[in-house]
Structure 1
Amino acid sequence: MRLRHFINNIRISHWWWWIGVCAAAVLGFNPGVRVTDFSLIIVGFTFLFASVYTLNNTYDHQSDKWNPEKNNPVAHGRISYNESFVQTVVLAGTGLVLLGLVSPSGFISGVVLCLLNIVYHVPPLRTKSRPYIDILSITLLYATPFFVGYSAVNGFDLRGTGIAILFGLLSGMVHPFQTAKDLEQDRMNGDNTIAASIGLKRSVMLSLILVVITLLYFELLVTARFIDSKMFLYPVTFIPSLAYYVKTISDPSHKKIDSTVLILRLNGILGGIVPIYFLLR
């Protein structure tokens, strides 16, 4: 059935734990939210974030043809470019409508997510292929799971924005490792990622620098009383991902070991559960 290919195009296994971050943003700072509003926010966010990955598959279908690790339905002709584009529009549009039913600020935060998605993936801007700018873009894009949930019920304020940036930084610090892992394939495809631009060793060093910056930023949020110091455990949930990328870079055959997939799934579970646990305390 072709429906299966449209479901695969969403690639929910790559991002489902961000639903937990969005839920934590809602419940952690507004525990009295109505069940109806909470449901609309979570479902709306899920549709919107699914559109991030369908748009990625739409515009990466040419390069993904030659990457054996990428199971892109568009690249392999299971669904067409136009069908994937329409799927993206429908997902994003549905998500915006659902968030708009909750609050104007929810709708606006959803629009911000969509704009960042377009800027990151779509030419001529396509910051995904612009070294250094791609890190900034991925940081902002992955700040949106918390930003959408928080702003939908609390509006826009410095606290919510500051915490959202923390979640973005946690993804940004992993990004150079990820591009280093895919360095050879990206060079073959002509993708000018950060690793393709500055090389393997510098990418790893950059990622470590970003880890330090993220931890310092976390300390700033604690000092400003935006978050509880116990949330320090949340960055620990990203250690499995960092370990996976370090191992893969040093041993390319490690990509094929099934245990690494289990590690990343565990990391996803922790990434969704830990913020909920601490923000609801």
Structure 2
Amino acid sequence: MTAALAPALDVADWQARRRAHEERVDAWLAPHLARRRTGATHPVEDFLFSYYSHRPAQLRRWHPGAGVLLRGAGPAEFGRDYLTTAAGRTLDTEGVRARRAESIRWIRTLLAATAGRPAHFGCFGMHEWAMVYRQTQDEVRHNAWPLRLSPAETAAVVEERGVRCSHFDAYRFFTPPARPLNLLTPTRETQYALEQPGCLHANMDLYKWAYKLSPLVPSELVADCFALAREIRTLDMRASPYDLADLGYPPVRVETPEGRAEYAAAQRGFAERAAPLRARLLAALD
């Protein structure tokens, strides 16, 4: 699509969208940046900024997505991926796609494969338990926060429930003795074949795929994926073996039948909310 045929936004319209995006993101960034200045950390709220590579400034920066002409935008605005025309600026869509062709193909294949697979809801969050399996309090990843059960009791839950994790980037953080307990052995090479739309981490990763596709996708879509990922992370840690009640996160006690039912219901809800975001990303790619 050429700039002349692109949908156009007047200055007031795109500046309003940019301002709304920045204000939305600032509500997430301000507490994180304040903690970072003092060296404090938060096991829930800071996770998306430490685990994923997208920096706060990148999340805050607004892009309209491919095929939009920004009337009145100056040459210095929006960066090197944009073309300057007499009417304004528009993304060099073909140039960006050419530079990222391999990554785009990989992401699209994964998203489509995941969307086309039935969702499973029987893992009950045991991946977080497998990450602390047979470790002492000092050894666990978030050792500033206590475990709800003793290390022996935590291990007993893992051994009784078993682990059914299909997500490679969760599995790779399992402790060595926990890995043989998993029903699957996920690898990067088998990610296409294993990732499924009921998985909390697969749905959290929609944020990763969205920002890796930026600026081809609108920043509002990246922010929508971030917002869902924040909520998913909350459930992830509430169902974990950590005791975060003092931070305002009551546990989802997946070691009990009632807790497992609560977890599965929330997991279904996240899968339902993730599906249209995955569809929007695929539509933007297509």
- Report the TM-score when normalising by structure 1: 0.31
Structure number with higher helix proportion: 1
Structure with max Cα Rg: 2
Higher strand share: 2
